Amino acid sequence: MLQGRLQEARATLLRLGTKKFGSPEPTFAQRIESAELTALEGLIDRLLEAGSWQDLFPA
């Protein structure tokens, strides 16, 4: 169950982020793949406010 939710959250973030910002750089794609569910959900929530992948993933 958790694995399915993780895959869906990753796919949603990548789909919406790519639509808004273009394809992510490999470092951002790696961070998405290794993120926990709560972090992914937070990133999805912040997509509307971010202006780029860099904004979404502050240093």
Residue 56 CA to residue 35 CA, distance in Å, equals: 13
Q: Note the pLDDT tens digit of each residue in 2-53.
A: 899 999 999 999 999 999 999 999 999 999 999 999 999 999 999 999 999 9
Residue type present at position 23: S
The residue behind tokens 């926990």 is: 36
Rounded to two decimals, what is the model's pTM?
A: 0.92
The residue behind tokens 């490999």 is: 26
Q: Where are the domains of the chain?
A: 2-50
SS3 52: coil
The residue behind tokens 């993120």 is: 35
